[in-house]
Chains A and B, each alone.
Chain A
Amino acid sequence: MKMEMLIEKLTTIFRKVFDDETIVLSDQMTANDIGSWDSLSHMLMITQVENAFSIKFSLREINKLKNVGALIRLIESKSVND
């Protein structure tokens, strides 16, 4: 999957889950940058990503995610492997 497509798809998910049409993703972005991104909405976002990209994460992978850039790289690696 091309990087632009991946980011576009991910942006749509972020905007829908976190209910904010102005979200523009960046590598360094974390939960601190989006008001409604808390531990409750986090797992809803993860589930949407899994469904949209037809991939499965492990708990260990999710725990290690430090920012949006890490999530993008993880999705990319899983999409290639699949």
Chain B
Amino acid sequence: MTFTSFGFLIFFPTVILIYYLLPEKYRRWFLLLASYYFYINLKPVYAVLLAGITLVTYAFTISIARAKTARNKKLLLILDIVMTLLPLFFFKYYNFVNTAIYGLLNTAGIRWPLPEISFILPVGISFYTFMALGYAIDVYHEEIEPEKNLSIVALFLSFFPTVLSGPIERASNMFPQFRGKFQFDYNKIVKGFQLILWGFFMKLVIANRIAIFVHFIFRDVEHNSGSSLLLGTLLYPIQVYADLGGYSLIAIGSAAVMGIDVMQNFNRPFFATSMSQFWRRWHISLISWLTDYIYTPLSFRFRKYRLLGTVIALMLTFLISGIWHGAALTFIFWGLLQGSFLSVEAVTSKQRRALFKKYDLTKKRWFIFASCVFVYLLFAFSELFCGPVSSMGKTFLIIKKIFLNLNSPLYYGSPSSILFTLAGILILFVFEWQTKGHEGHFPFLDNKNWLVRKLSYAMLIIIILMIGVFDGGQFIYFQF
């Protein structure tokens, strides 16, 4: 079951109804039951994996806290990390590493093939694995006490709004809420439904509509024109944003309806004026996880090399981010590209600040606009390596055709289709420019006038139903 499936339209209202009818003390258990039911619906065997990682995390976090010596604590943490990562490695990276080793041995004249494994990646594994690891590392660093109640750890990792694609939450935020009273809060419920509605708008009206173009354009790179490929390249970042951003809002909104606060995952990323600002606004839960558990320890280790240490830590962190996205050379290259962008900014930060100050650039509108466009173009270029096509060869062919074959016929589907797509994007950008929807501020939906409020809800629902694409396939980040 996923957020855009018909099943969810039955599942979610039923869950809310039973949840609030039940006495408070049973609500956590009910949420756990509902979450496992939600996850089992995808494929029952995956739930066994989720339960396994839950038990490993539960047992090891308690053992880490109880260990008497620093050496034992470290040993237990390493064991926990290995055991938690094993399933992810097996499902996601086995074939990639297997092929690489085989290729290496083959060049040395040794033929020793291991069988290929064709399992489908369990949905959400990359997300709950990171949540489990973060929790164990926090216990190791004594930033959080280990949770003795298994149901709280189990709910943290399986919570149905976040289990499939995040936001990658932290135990320090979720445990206190799961220990709490699960009280009815009318305002939170209204906010939750607003976020869900806006999330559906982003996914169904924007992401799925753009997907029609992008899918057609990138499906046949060889035969599509340079101008069409440029259109696909420019639209793809908005598709990914509306897809994962929309998913995140539905997740955050669903949790809010049940009184649970889940962290923000995006904050108007396309209004960022630098790449470092962009990465503080894009997929925030993943980037802050990587910052805390990968970048900070690495930059601490390399701190004596000063700026060079920062660059090494950045490159390694984004390399890991690339590998997290998938086992392919394109993702690795994508990670290195992001690391390079941020490194250039880090190395030139003093000079850039001096230049901005000298000409008072940060207050000039044209400069802010140009910076946003520049960041968008850099990101759009880098995203060519993050999913739309499957190989480096195809990615380079796109780039080559954009530069050498730009003066060519443009594919834009039917006039109504491109019009609806552009209108959707325009609404999204104007809305994000004017408001802070991601923080739950919706001017029309929150209007003091009863009629304006009701009409705004009706309009949004009508737009989703009329322009939304309901057979647009799955959320992009399910593949990660």
Contacts and interface: CB of A to CB of B under 8 A. Distances in A.
A64 B313 CA distance: 20
Interface residues of B, number: 25
A43 B353 contact: no
Interface in B254-310: 276, 280, 291-292, 295-297, 299-300, 303-304, 306-307, 309-310
B291 A39 contact: yes
Interface stretch (A3-11, A55-63, A70-78): A55-63
Contact of A60 (B141, B295, B342, B350): B141
Nearest to B295: A39
A44 B141 contact: no
A40 B353 CA distance: 15
Contacts of A36: 349, 353
A27 interface: no
A47 interface: yes
A13 interface: no
Contacts of A38: 276, 280
Contacts of A43: 296, 299-300, 303, 309-310, 313
A40 B349 CA distance: 10
Contact of A19 (B280, B299, B350): B350
B143 A40 contact: no
Given A43-B303, A46-B303, A47-B303, A63 B310 contact: no
Contacts of A19: 350, 353
A59 B296 CA distance: 8
Contact of B306 (A47, A60, A63, A64): A47
A44 B300 contact: no
A63 B141 contact: yes
B433 to A, nearest CB: 22
B23 to A, nearest CB: 37
Nearest to B291: A39
A38 B276 CA distance: 9
B307 A44 contact: yes
B142 interface: yes
Contacts of B469: none
Of A40, A50, A63, A64, the most chain B CB neighbours within 10 A belong to A40
Contacts of A64: 141, 143
B291 A62 contact: no
B346 interface: yes
Contacts of B292: 63
Given A43-B296, A43-B300, A62-B296, 13 more contacts: A38-B280, A39-B295, A39-B299, A40-B310, A41-B349, A43-B299, A44-B307, A47-B303, A59-B141, A59-B296, A59-B297, A62-B300, A63-B143
3 smallest CB-CB distances across A and B, nearest first, come from: A43-B299, A47-B303, A59-B300
Interface of A: 19, 36, 38-41, 43-44, 46-47, 50, 59-60, 62-64
